[in-house]
Amino acid sequence: MKSILNSVILSIILLNLSFGQEKSAGPIIKEFGAVYKVENPDFKVDVTQEFKAVFDVSNSPEEQDKINPYIETGARFLNMHAQAGIPENQIKAALVIHGSATKDVLTDAAYEKRYGIKNPNLHLIKALIAADVQVIFCGQSANSRKIERKEMISGIQLSLSAMTALISLQNDNYRLIKF
C-alpha cells in the first residue's frame, strides 16, 4: 500500500512539474514563437549585448498543411530574448530560405495553385517581416523550382543564392544557426 501511495505522490509531482510551465508567445510576435520562461539560469543573459542571428532554413514538413517549425524559430528567437529582458532594438534576425523550404515563401494563390490549399506559413512570414526580420529567398532555388517574384510573399528579399546571403550576413556579424 505504501508503494502505491508513493507512486501516486510521485506521479502528482511529475505532473505538476510538466504542467507547471506554460509556453507563452510575445512580446514581439504574439501569434507565433511561444517559449518557456527559464527562471534563474546559471548561464546569464547579458542584456547589453546585441543578438544577431541568421537561420539557415532548408527543410520543411512534407505535409503541405503544416507550419514550418524552422521558420517559426525566428519568432521564438525574438520572443525568448525579449522575454529575457533584451531590448527589442538589440535583437536582430534573418532567415535564409532555400531547399525544400522553398514552397513556404509562396503567396496563398501560388501555394493553392500548386498544393490545393492556402500557405500555412503566410501569416507567420508576414509577422516576421512586420517585426523587421529579414526573410531572404535563394534565387537559385527560385529558378530551379520555377518560382516567379509575383508568386513570393510581399516583403521577402530575393538573393543571388542562399550561400551569398549566409556569407553576407555572417560578414555583418550575424551568427549562423542551423537546426
Within-domain flag for 32 = yes
Q: pLDDT at position 9, please?
A: 52
d(CA 108, CA 103): 11
With a CB cutoff of 8 Å and minimum separation 6, the contacts of 70 are 55, 57, 59, 60, 101, 179
Q: pLDDT at position 139, please?
A: 98
pLDDT digits (tens, 9 = 90+) for 45-78: 999 999 999 999 999 999 999 999 999 999 999 9
Within-domain flag for 18 = no
Q: Are the C-beta atoms of 156 and 137 separated by less than 8 Å?
A: yes
Q: pLDDT at position 8, please?
A: 45
Within-domain flag for 16 = no
Q: pLDDT at position 87, please?
A: 97
Within-domain flag for 15 = no
Give the CATH number of the domain where residue 163 resides.
3.40.1260.10
CA angle (148 as vertex; 68, 165 as ends), nearest 5: 60
Q: What is the share, in percent, of the chain residues with pLDDT greater than 70?
A: 89
Query: Which grid coordinates are listed for 14?
Result: 511529475
Mean confidence (pLDDT) of the chain: 91
Q: pLDDT at position 46, please?
A: 94
With a CB cutoff of 8 Å and minimum separation 6, the contacts of 149 are 158
Within-domain flag for 150 = yes
Domain total of the chain: 1
DSSP state of 90: G
d(CA 63, CA 60): 8
Within-domain flag for 100 = yes
Query: Which grid coordinates are listed for 93?
Result: 534576425
Q: pLDDT at position 18, please?
A: 47
Could you say which residues of the chain have pLDDT below 50?
6, 8, 10-12, 14-19
Within-domain flag for 101 = yes
Taking each helix axis as running N to C, give the angle between helix 69-83 and helix 122-130, from 0 to 180 degrees, rounded to the nearest 10: 40
Q: pLDDT at position 166, please?
A: 98
The string over 77-89, giving b where at least 16 C-beta atoms fall within 10 Å of a residue's C-beta and e elsewhere, is bbbbbbbbebeee
The range of the structural domain enclosing residue 147 comes to 26-177
Within-domain flag for 107 = yes
Q: Are the C-beta atoms of 174 and 94 separated by less than 8 Å?
A: yes
